[in-house]
Homo-oligomer: A and B are copies of this chain.
Amino acid sequence: MRVETRKQEIIRVAATLFKDKGYSAVTMRDLAKAMGIKAASLYNHINSKQDILKDIIISLAEEFTAGMATIMASQVSSLDKLNQIIALHVNIAGRNTDEMASLNNDWMHLEEKLEYYLQLRENYEANFRSIIKQGIGTKEIIDLDPDTILFSILSTLRSLYLWIPDHEDYNPNQFAAELAEILLHGINK
């Protein structure tokens, strides 16, 4: 089975609506209308609105966690790890632009899974920070506050979901390289 189930279709359409208006502002009737059915019919496929959000966010968060684990295990320089992280974000964001909006903007509306999500995020950022610190230790990276460096890079990576849909002709690999150039080497000539 390679085809999308009705449930997956609902979740995908929900993500596009969530991207534009946010989870709280999208009603089940909005979602139903976008699907061409009545709101009650949605419940033949999904359990609740909350469940849709959970499916969108948790699967994405776990994909980032898995990607980071691979990077942490690779035996390369800190700078190369940062390059891999940038490529990871470009890759995941490129395949999930709508879903990334929910991950970034609606995670606080998770209920049962909120704590789990926060654990994944803290773990991800801790790994990211440790790579930066290691790079500072080996003098690959300038000796500035690791939190500020992390904040700066991660802010840009988190916003990729906004940039990508406006540049449909972009080449992921080339774009990741250009972004790495800007983030790691700066823009000053």
Contact = CB atoms under 8 A, between A and B. Distances in A.
Given A152-B182, A156-B156, A140 B189 contact: yes
Contacts of A188: 79, 140-142, 184-186
Contact of A22 (B24, B144, B179, B183): B24
Contact of A159 (B21, B105, B155, B162): B155
Interface of chain A: mostly helix, strand, loop or mixed: helix
A12 interface: no
Contacts of A106: 22
A187 interface: yes
A43 interface: no
A145 interface: yes
A121 interface: no
Interface residues of A, number: 41
Interface in A121-173: 139-142, 144-145, 147-149, 151-153, 155-156, 158-159, 162-163, 167
Interface string A60-79: 00000000000000000001
A39 interface: no
A20 interface: yes
Contacts of A22: 22, 24, 105-106, 108
A110 B9 CA distance: 29
Given A139-B189, A184-B186, A189-B141, A21 B108 contact: yes
A187 B141 contact: yes
Interface of A: 20-22, 24-25, 79, 105-106, 108-109, 139-142, 144-145, 147-149, 151-153, 155-156, 158-159, 162-163, 167, 175, 178-179, 181-189
15 contacts: A22-B105, A140-B188, A142-B188, A144-B178, A145-B178, A148-B182, A151-B156, A153-B187, A155-B156, A155-B159, A159-B159, A183-B187, A184-B186, A184-B187, A185-B188
